[in-house]
Structure 1
């Protein structure tokens, strides 16, 4: 399972999600199939974090959203 972060230059926004298949999920986002991201096409994969279980995925996704995606990236990987 993966927690992933996408970025849309079109909207200047991040999106956080979870999946078992990153390649297929990114394709669905960029085809406009996912309602919450269809207005930001194209989306670029910024970060993917693999975790061992669904429960860990849910905890990490919630933590990222609560902190704010940009802050989470900056805190762990950035400036």
Structure 2
């Protein structure tokens, strides 16, 4: 199972991240302990939304979709 997830910063609620992981709890833990350079300065993080995919390729495609400029606004409003 692959998870596409969107955590939001508890330090800056307007800041969010889009990622993919096999183990969501472990990945959130890495964000919160500072092991992910891109998110370290905005910790702590809390999961805002996640979607589970049984198909790895579909999960990667959806993550890529959410990371495009036009869809960042969509994910902030809808997810």
TM bucket normalised to smaller: 0.7 to 0.9
Match of 2:5 in 1: 4
User: RMSD of the alignment, in Å?
Assistant: 1.4
Structure 1 unpaired stretches of 5+: none
After superposing on structure 2, the runs of 4+ consecutive aligned residues of structure 1 that deviate more than 6 Å are: none
Q: By percentage of residues, which structure has more helix? A: 1
Q: State the TM-score, normalizing by the size of structure 1.
A: 0.85
Q: State the TM-score, normalizing by the size of structure 2.
A: 0.85
Q: Distance in 1 between matches of 2:77 and 2:33?
A: 29
Which of 71, 74, 77 is residue 71 of structure 1 equivalent to? 74
Q: Distance in 1 between matches of 2:59 and 2:18?
A: 11
